[in-house]
């Protein structure tokens, strides 16, 4: 069993909890309040800006040309998606420039991106890419599960299509293979640390949806 | 008005909220439940391990020999304090090896240390050291305020003495001066980013005490 | 006068010395010995692998989305060019797999890429991108100067066309603008450090050609 | 055979070449020209400033508290030694403030420190500390070999005593043990990369003495 197969199975309870989030059920049903989606999409754009930086550091530290290519491309795509959100989704969902100007990352958004950046700053490349992976694999699973059950037409079609797109699935596969390749030659200690990074990032995925649904801000 | 004087004044409401935390009132009164302090001291030891890493990166990027000296010394002292917690405080407060073995950083602890590491990974040196400072200056203020009102004897004497110690105040002053020095030659954009880093870290200080008092764990 | 205009003028003597290198004269004349070009192209491929990493770190630390996009794209393109060298140029110039397998960066190649990586590890983003720029602007100048005087046909046509290509000129312009933008808001101290990084990288450009021409290896 | 024992044996030819350097023979005989030592000591002080940064990054990425303690202490000591050079050795050997002000790292000095910083920026912690070690172990060997054959009195006594001091030997031992510990659990690929880092840094040690003896500056 590969590293990914094992950890993907291990986090199955968290994945089930993600798929059971009311945010996703309402999004599939097209009934998610616009204000909730606005909050989410703003946080998502703040997330992507930081995720792009983290992917770039993975590119800088990848031992193989394949890794450098994948993660520098990922860093570029993350900026491009961030810009598409600003130029297309924001308009469609009535996110005003004022909302953008006053937005700041929620504690969960900042915690998640900072956690990935902390792996980049103080941990091994292997842990870093293990922490990067859930954002790909969880979104790909969410996209694939929601796509067939989503009502049509659905105000959130474009969002759903992005993450159910075969091209996104292929990118997810490539990152997964880089993680599995790294794990296959890693020491047991590093593999354990990779599992911890994957688990922690998957927890943050759940918390990100949950925080968006409840629009949780800073307590002080 | 120096950068520090301005930002210290600006975060006065957060500082007041910190000083009003029940955790600190009960600690001064000697009535804080042992289990609460155990939770706190475990989180503090996890915090220090990561804070030491962040200080070390500040040392690596400091433009002056004074900065390299201060932050490499700070990194060393943080490891030493972490070891003192393990060797002395843990025994005194009945933190068992089993508790240590199963401890993991709380969301707030991980969020705070990761945030500082993210400054190290993706932001300027100036922002990094502005984010580092509140852990010094807030603890020094807390130590100075609690010391004169603490009951005697107090089970938490040693903890209070650590942060009311003049030597700690001097270290705080030196870090503060490095931050002010950096701010005095920084561009307005960097100064604004420094202020944001200082504010965010000060918020995390409040959240750290609050999280410890309520022993908040992971939601999933 | 912009930062770039001033520093480009300041390093004019080094640029003239680069353009006067026998390596380039013989390359334009088509008379450069194949063994010399083989040595150069192998070193260039080793250079690009590391330059890609450095560009990726610039992407990770860029304050603006434009900077993140430019440098993550640059990191990706550097890997792609590295692969084109391996798949096309190496065959054309009879660089054998055995040569590739036993190649190691020369002292100058390792010194240059390491210097840029050291800016990434221990200096400001501004210095980092100032150090990155000469590889763009010097090659663009070399491409533009050689193209009109090169004999035709020339065994090194493809190489010359790469660096005289308007697309490469546009990329150079975009990086130059990012550097000028950063310099325009930087403190005098940072601007001086940027100039030093630009100068040092330009010196390394001269040394890279010189080292390739004389095929200088390790003294021990 | 531990990683260190194997690599130390493998680089024996380079170590013998270092011990055979005229710089060291003349230093032991007390006949080294003052101007040569001035050049060396200036380069050494520039080296230490950067070496301190590299040690600090090793502290930031060390998996164990022992590693964080050792490398943050090393970073601090490097700054302190740098200051001692400025305050004591510079005066004794008539290094004037003007010499200090106009000094810049030689190509070999910059290449060596940049190489170590590049390991910090783009490679694993294991490679980083393997690259850090030769500066300890080569100087300790040099100190131990020169001390018994040095004439007495010798103008360079204080320098010789520094590196023949048992305290320096103990620090060398501790760093060596951290490297061996890391190697013992590393994958074969990482161990090979560690060996390359150790070899490259040892070559730079030879080049540093050689460059100092011939006072080699920049070719352009």
Residues D73-127: tens digit of each pLDDT: 999 999 999 999 888 889 999 999 899 889 999 999 999 999 999 999 999 999 9
CB atoms within 10 A of CB A102: 9
Mean pLDDT of B109-133: 98
Band (A76; pLDDT cuts 50, 70, 90) = very high
Report the percent of chain C where pLDDT is more than 90. Answer: 94
Beta strands in B102-195 (DSSP E): none
C56 to chain B: nearest residue by CA? B122
CB atoms within 10 A of CB B31: 11
Band (A88; pLDDT cuts 50, 70, 90) = confident
Report helix angle B125-146 to B34-61, nearest 10.
150
Which residues of chain D have a CB within 8 Å of the CB of B68?
49, 52-53, 56, 75, 79
Taken as a whole, chain C contains a residue count of 220
CA–CA distance, A75 with A84 (Å, rounded to integer): 14
Band (C88; pLDDT cuts 50, 70, 90) = confident
Report helix angle D166-184 to D65-84, nearest 10.
140
- The reported pLDDT for the residue numbered C133 is 98
Q: Please answer whether residues A18 and A142 qualify as being in contact, where contact means their C-beta atoms are separated by less than 8 angstroms.
A: yes
Return the number of CB contacts < 8 Å for A and D: 22
Q: Please answer whether residues A175 and A136 qualify as being in contact, where contact means their C-beta atoms are separated by less than 8 angstroms.
A: yes
pTM of the model: 0.98
Q: Please tell me the distance in Å from D63's CA to the nearest CA on chain B.
A: 10
Q: For B118, which of A14, A114, A200 is closest by C-beta distance?
A: A114
Report helix angle A107-122 to A34-61, nearest 10.
0
Are residues C49 and A68, on separate chains, in Cβ contact within 8 Å?
yes
Q: For the range A6-9, what are the long-range contacts, defined as Cβ-Cβ under 8 Å and sequence gap of 24 or more?
A: A6/A195, A7/A130, A7/A194, A7/A195, A7/A198, A7/A199, A8/A137
Are residues A68 and C57, on separate chains, in Cβ contact within 8 Å?
no
Band (C87; pLDDT cuts 50, 70, 90) = confident
Are residues C125 and B124, on separate chains, in Cβ contact within 8 Å?
yes
Band (B97; pLDDT cuts 50, 70, 90) = confident
CB atoms within 10 A of CB D21: 18
Per-residue pLDDT tens over the stretch B135-168: 999 999 999 999 999 999 999 999 999 999 999 9
Q: What's the gap between Cα C126 and its chain centre?
A: 18
Would you say residue A4 has pLDDT above 90?
yes
- The reported pLDDT for the residue numbered D187 is 94
Both tokens of D100, joined, read 């200090």
Q: Please tell me the distance in Å from C183's CA to the nearest CA on chain A.
A: 22
- With a threshold of 0.85, tell me whether the complex ipTM lies above it: yes
CA–CA distance, D105 with B194 (Å, rounded to integer): 32
Q: For C56, which of A49, A56, A83 is closest by C-beta distance?
A: A56
Per-residue pLDDT tens over the stretch C92-134: 999 998 998 899 999 999 999 999 999 999 999 999 999 999 9
Are residues C76 and A76, on separate chains, in Cβ contact within 8 Å?
yes
My answer on whether omega of the bond before B43 falls inside 30° of 0, hence cis, is: no
Per-residue pLDDT tens over the stretch D131-142: 999 999 999 999
My answer on whether omega of the bond before A153 falls inside 30° of 0, hence cis, is: yes
Which residues of chain D have a CB within 8 Å of the CB of A122?
60-61
Q: Report which of B73, A211, A82 is spatially closest to residue D72, judged by C-alpha positions.
A: B73
Would you say residue A204 has pLDDT above 90?
yes
Return the number of CB contacts < 8 Å for B and D: 79
CB atoms within 10 A of CB A139: 17
Band (C86; pLDDT cuts 50, 70, 90) = confident
Per-residue HEC secondary structure of C96-125 comes to CHHHHHHCCCCHHHHHHHHHHHHHHHHCCH
Q: Please answer whether residues D129 and D6 qualify as being in contact, where contact means their C-beta atoms are separated by less than 8 angstroms.
A: no
What are the φ/ψ torsions at residue B11 (nearest 5 degrees)? -90, 15
Both tokens of A134, joined, read 């859930």
Are residues D117 and C113, on separate chains, in Cβ contact within 8 Å?
no
Report helix angle B107-122 to B125-146, nearest 10.
140
Taken as a whole, chain A contains a residue count of 220
Categorise residue B94: left if φ over 0, alpha if ψ from -120 to 50, beta otherwise.
left
Both tokens of C104, joined, read 């190691």
Which residues of chain C have a CB within 8 Å of the CB of A56?
56-57, 59-60, 68, 71-72, 75
- The reported pLDDT for the residue numbered A140 is 98
Q: Please answer whether residues C50 and D118 qualify as being in contact, where contact means their C-beta atoms are separated by less than 8 angstroms.
A: yes
CB atoms within 10 A of CB A198: 27
The contact set of C with D (CB < 8 A) is 14, 17, 50, 53-54, 57, 107, 110-111, 113-115, 117-118, 120-122, 200, 203, 206-207, 210, 218-220
Cβ-proximal residues to D15 (8 Å cutoff; 6+ apart), any chain: D8, D138, D141, D202
CA–CA distance, D177 with D87 (Å, rounded to integer): 33
- The reported pLDDT for the residue numbered B110 is 98
CA–CA distance, B109 with B122 (Å, rounded to integer): 20
Q: Report which of B159, B162, B163, B160 is spatially closest to residue B137, judged by C-alpha positions.
A: B163
Are residues B111 and A113, on separate chains, in Cβ contact within 8 Å?
no
Provide the b/e sequence for C1-24 (b: ≥16 CB within 10 Å): eebbeebbeebeebbebbbebebb
Using CB atoms within 10 Å of the CB of residue D49, give its burial: 0 to 12 exposed, 13 to 18 middle, 19+ buried.
middle
Helix (H, G, I), strand (E, B) or coil at C145: helix
CA–CA distance, D178 with D173 (Å, rounded to integer): 9
Mean pLDDT of B59-75: 98
Which residues of chain B have a CB within 8 Å of the CB of D75?
56, 59-60, 68, 72, 75
């Amino acid at each position: 069993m590969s590293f990914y197969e094992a950890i993907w199975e291990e986090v199955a309870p968290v994945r089930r909890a993600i798929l059971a989030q009311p945010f996703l059920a309402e999004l599939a049903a097209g009934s998610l309040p616009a204000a909730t989606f606005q909050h989410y999409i703003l946080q998502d754009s703040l997330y992507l800006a930081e995720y792009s930086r983290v992917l770039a550091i993975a590119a800088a530290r990848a031992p193989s040309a394949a890794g450098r290519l994948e993660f520098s491309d990922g860093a570029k795509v993350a900026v491009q998606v961030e810009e598409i959100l600003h130029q297309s989704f924001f308009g469609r969902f009535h996110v005003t420039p004022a909302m953008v100007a006053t937005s700041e990352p929620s504690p969960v958004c900042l915690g998640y991106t900072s956690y990935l950046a902390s792996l980049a700053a103080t941990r091994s490349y292997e842990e870093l890419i293990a922490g990067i992976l859930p954002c790909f694999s969880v979104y790909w699973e969410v996209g694939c599960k929601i796509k067939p059950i989503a009502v049509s037409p659905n105000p959130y079609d474009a969002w759903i299509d992005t993450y159910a797109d075969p091209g996104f699935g292929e990118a997810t596969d490539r990152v997964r293979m880089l993680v599995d390749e790294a794990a296959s030659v890693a020491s047991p200690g590093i593999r354990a640390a990779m599992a911890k990074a994957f688990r922690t990032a998957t927890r943050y995925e759940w918390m990100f949806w949950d925080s968006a649904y409840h629009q949780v801000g800073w307590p002080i």
